[in-house]
Amino acid sequence: MFAALPLRAPLLGIFALSAEWQALLDPSTERTVAQLKLAWWHDEMLRLAQGAAVHPISLYLASQPGAAAAHFTLLTTAVEAAMLEISGAPLERAAQLENHSSALIAGPLRVASLIADEQVDRPALEQSTGALGQAQYLARALRTYRREATSGRIPFAVDELLHAGVENADLLAPQPAPPLQTYLQDLRRRAATHYASVLSDTPRAARPLLRHLLVLAALGLKHLPDTAGDSAFAALKDMLLAWRTARKAVA
């Protein structure tokens, strides 16, 4: 709604794809089913890049005026990152987080911008989507880590958990033990820093086209402490925040 006009159609396709994949990443989805479906999506993204897509969402993206085969390789990488999560193999080192979140979250957002405008400021796009991807990955992990652990998946880097003194059993406990609580607070600060960097570091000249990223960062930062309610009033406040952020980007 608040994206630049050329981005609205590409974003619709990207968000539709992301919704399909996020449903498969949900811990409630049986692992074998998720693996089979993600394998199909991986083949479909290869077909999309080759001009032979069959799924309606893929065909919609391929029909966009600025669509190019080179853009869609980022979507293949995104599915590969999702397949890695489904496998249950944790990130061994914190340094892997940036690449993983970039592939899973930032890459698809970059595709939408490239479809909308091939001449988009590439460094600004890389920086903004990269920071947003890391923030959204951490925010998701903070919300779902217990459900993930119950299904045998760990969304955190193993070296960080060891350094923080967090045991696997701690991730399953109804209330986080002090070491885990400290670690979660640190992750929340890191996510907030990434969200804030999108809002502060995106170059002014690039903001009109990339204002949807600013809106996502502003909303993510607001909801990060998990204090926002589900009431209609809270939803209206979100709409107002999104509108103000988008308007400020083009002022």
Mean pLDDT, the chain, integer: 92
pTM of whole model > 0.85? yes
Q: Residues 9-36: pLDDT tens digits? A: 999 999 999 999 999 999 889 999 999 9
Work out the pLDDT band at 232, boundaries 50, 70, 90: low
Residue 122, pLDDT above cutoff 70: yes
Structure confidence at residue 187 (pLDDT) = 95
Q: Residues 57-79: pLDDT tens digits? A: 999 999 999 898 878 999 999 99
Residue 89, pLDDT above cutoff 90: no
Contacts (Cβ under 8 Å, ≥6 apart) of 209: 4, 6, 7, 113, 116, 117, 120, 121
Residues 110/125, Cβ–Cβ less than 8 Å: yes
Domains (range + CATH), the chain: 5-250 (1.10.600.10)
Structure confidence at residue 156 (pLDDT) = 93
Residues 222/241, Cβ–Cβ less than 8 Å: yes
Q: Tell me the percentage of the chain whose pLDDT exceeds 90.
A: 82
- What is the full DSSP assignment across 114-153? HHH-TTS-HHHHHHHHHHHHHHHHHHHHHHHHHHHHHTT-
Residues 124/206, Cβ–Cβ less than 8 Å: yes
